[in-house]
Amino acid sequence: MKSGYFPGCSLHSTAKNYESSTQAVCKNLDVQLEEIPDWNCCGSTPAHQTDHLLALALPARNLALAERAGMKEVLAPCAACFNHLRTAELECAGNRETQRRVEGVLGMTYGNSVHVMNILEFLVERVGIDKISAKVKRPLKGLRIAPYYGCMLTRPAKIARFDHPVNPLSMDHLLEALGADVVAWGAKTECCGAAHVLTRPDVVIELSGRIIYEAKDSGADAVATACPMCMSNLDLRQNAMTKATGKEAKVPVLYLTELLGLALGISRAELGMRKHVVSTAPVLEKIS
């Protein structure tokens, strides 16, 4: 199977292990990823908060380039990139006038032929849980995982159009198929505070802390995420959470694709497992 691929800025810098594990997992599952040539930043929250047309045009350039390269579907592993590309996809497809305005500022044509997918949608609906579970070599037996979806994979519902907005289950099912014990917890779709970390780190440490402590209290060995921004808030800020609450945080946070890769028997080096601030050693020991 072939698919278009939009890594986004984070996967080329602070989330290199999300990129390496996604690539390794796709290779293992016989998916050839073709990167959109010369892609640009999706604009993320700053574009969305600044100008609606800009927030459509920046991702739309990528869709137009994908279309030119003959891609019908594009995988965007970053939850925020997925959300912004999907917004452009839907708004251009739903309104001729919007499409024309976007084409006008792009100076390119775009025929609404590209469908954007998030990593869960891609794994569960395109590849399929059956195919994945048949390839599991080292089940994640005895590993208790808190599946964390955050906001952007499932909300706003009319943009994401995927799973349930507040109680999604696709990641739960995927992790169960890998042999893991999926914990029931209350923070699976809570917001981590996202980019406000640059302006109000205190608030983000509180919001992300609630997620980490909820995972800890529910007995999870690790949190699984599919978003580089969530990873950075949840993994990098645990010292600050500990300092703010007086209660030790220390919960390893892994990309969903890293856990999937481990279950598929892919080497830790290939997955980029060392790139975490909170040590993943307890997780690896438990399944080795």
Say if residues 102 and 74 touch (Cβ distance below 8 Å): no
Closer Cβ to other proteins, 53 or 136, answer by number: 53
Q: Segment near other proteins (CB under 8 A), from 89-97, 219-227, 261-269, 270-278? A: 270-278
The residue within the footprint of other proteins, chosen from 32, 40, 95, 267 (CB under 8 A), is: 40
The residue within the footprint of other proteins, chosen from 93, 105, 129, 244 (CB under 8 A), is: 105
94 contributes a contact to other proteins by CB under 8 A: no
**What is the per-residue binding string for other proteins in 144-183, x denoting contact by CB under 8 A?**
-------xx--xxxxxx----xx-----------------
The residue within the footprint of other proteins, chosen from 25, 92, 175, 191 (CB under 8 A), is: 191
For every residue of 159-192, DSSP letters joined together read HH-SS-SSS--HHHHHHHHTT-EEPP-S-TT---
193 contributes a contact to other proteins by CB under 8 A: yes
**Could you give the strand order of the β-sheet that contains 222-225, starting from the edge strand earlier in sequence?**
181-182, 144-147, 222-225, 253-255
Residue type, 126: R
User: For residues 137 and 261, what is the distance between their CA atoms, to the nearest angstrom?
Assistant: 10
- Looking from the CA of 52 toward its CB, the CA atoms found within 13 Å total 5
How many helices (H) does the chain have, and how many strands (E)? Answer: 16, 8
Closer Cβ to other proteins, 178 or 204, answer by number: 204
286 contributes a contact to other proteins by CB under 8 A: no
Which residues inside 62-81 make contact with other proteins, applying CB under 8 A?
Answer: none
Say if residues 222 and 254 touch (Cβ distance below 8 Å): yes
Residue 181 beta carbon to other proteins: minimum distance, rounded to whole angstroms? 27
E strand or H helix at 37: none
Task: Extract the tokens encoding 81.
Answer: 């990139």
Closer Cβ to other proteins, 43 or 261, answer by number: 43
36 contributes a contact to other proteins by CB under 8 A: no
The residue within the footprint of other proteins, chosen from 175, 207, 259, 262 (CB under 8 A), is: 207
Say if residues 264 and 223 touch (Cβ distance below 8 Å): no
136 contributes a contact to other proteins by CB under 8 A: no
The residue within the footprint of other proteins, chosen from 1, 2, 32, 50 (CB under 8 A), is: 50
Task: Extract the tokens encoding 237.
Answer: 């800020």
Closer Cβ to other proteins, 132 or 163, answer by number: 163
134 contributes a contact to other proteins by CB under 8 A: no
Question: Considering only CA atoms, which of 277, 273, 276, 275 is closest in space to residue 287?
Answer: 273
Continuous H helices in 29-51 = 44-50
86 contributes a contact to other proteins by CB under 8 A: no
Task: Extract the tokens encoding 72.
Answer: 């019908």
The residue within the footprint of other proteins, chosen from 1, 203, 269, 281 (CB under 8 A), is: 203
In the DSSP assignment, the letter for residue 22 is H
Q: Segment near other proteins (CB under 8 A), from 115-123, 169-177, 236-244, 253-261? A: 236-244
Task: Extract the tokens encoding 161.
Answer: 């159009």
Cα 103 from chain centre = 28
Binding residues for other proteins, per CB under 8 A? Answer: 9-10, 12-14, 16-17, 38-41, 43-54, 57-58, 61, 83, 104-108, 151-152, 155-160, 165-166, 189-191, 193-196, 198-201, 203, 207, 236-237, 239-240, 274-277
